[in-house]
Amino acid sequence: MNGPDVVCLGESMVVLRPGPAGAGRRLADVPSFDRGIGGAESNVACVLARRGHPTRWISRVGADAFGTHLVAAVAAHGVDTTYVQRDPVRPTGVYFRTAGERPTTSGTIPDPSHGEAAYYRAGSAASAMSPALIPRAAAHAGRILHLTGITAALSADCLALLRELVIRTPGSGPLLSFDVNYRAALWRHNAPEDPRVLAELARACDVVFVGEDEAEAAWGIDGGPDAIRAALPEPAVLVVKQGAAGATAYTRDAVVSVPAPAVDVVAPVGAGDAFAAGFLSATLRGLPLPARLRYGHLVAAAVLTVPGDLGEPPPPALADALAGLDPAAWGRLRLGPGWTGRPARVADTGTKKPGTEDPRVEDPRTEDPRT
């Protein structure tokens, strides 16, 4: 049996978000909740599986009803959950959230638009992941291993596992993808070390995703994408996310910036995971760097325009048509709820090969950005 394209490792939880009667309210005032699933790594796995990539999710959940639901829900997206372990003692993590984005700072933010999240994950089954419990061979079985900084904050054992997994013989093993995913509350309450350990992990990986706001909150880097690249020169590809402005990617010999399309945002949670999934999907297809950024933006827009952590990725034909727009047409693009179910209509805009809007960039079509 062939191995997966991508292995994603990390905690997923059951998510309870306000039902219709609780829209716009603080958690204390929400009368009822709708159930969903959420977890950075499983989100990436689900999106990649929906994009047609064989994908494996590795984690631990409780031997409880929430764990059963979680595994079934992730598997329903086409993800291989064979290596998800059931813990007979520790529970599945649960969290409650409103629609706004989680703040990257650790202070209390009263503005409801920034969102609230209440986590019940301390002592969860996933926090017990360790080098002794997670088979290295299963984690390294794919072409890409995707990890995030959330796992590093869960426990000393989880951090030890990540450190173990990012050690490779040069030129061997999977492409290592790492999303910094700094969560201030986790590092304030649970983390075994200072968040600077996230930079240590990032330096050992091949493809790294980090937001400008995260870099400032976790490491005090406030000089923009160039300053972040100066602090993280090791990754073969560094993607600095700049919110609604877009994203900038750095390789050994190129810098590419691609603006994000205008999006009518319903809820921002999960968009960063979707961006990573879109970028990795385009990487697996061997697309040039600007096209990878465009696919990241498009898949993120699919999540931004729905209330949950997971959205329906755009069909391949629609994504390819939009990613191939010329720069002017891309700049006019606006995406709203339901856009992924509409046929591509780009006849009046002109198209060109995806990702060629910057003539300075020379990016050979390759499956492995380390080459």
Catalytic sites, residue numbers: 273
Which residues, at least 6 apart from 362, have a Cβ–Cβ distance to it below 8 Å? Answer: 253, 254
C-alpha distance across the termini of the chain, in Å: 27
Q: What is the CA radius of gyration of the chain?
A: 19
d(C-alpha 8, C-alpha 349), whole Å: 37
What are the C-alpha distances in Å from 332 to residues 244, 259, 370?
14, 11, 34
Location of structure tokens 């993808």: 177
- Sheet containing 13-18: which strands, arranged edge to edge? 33-38, 13-18, 94-97, 117-120
Are the C-beta atoms of 209 and 232 separated by less than 8 Å? no
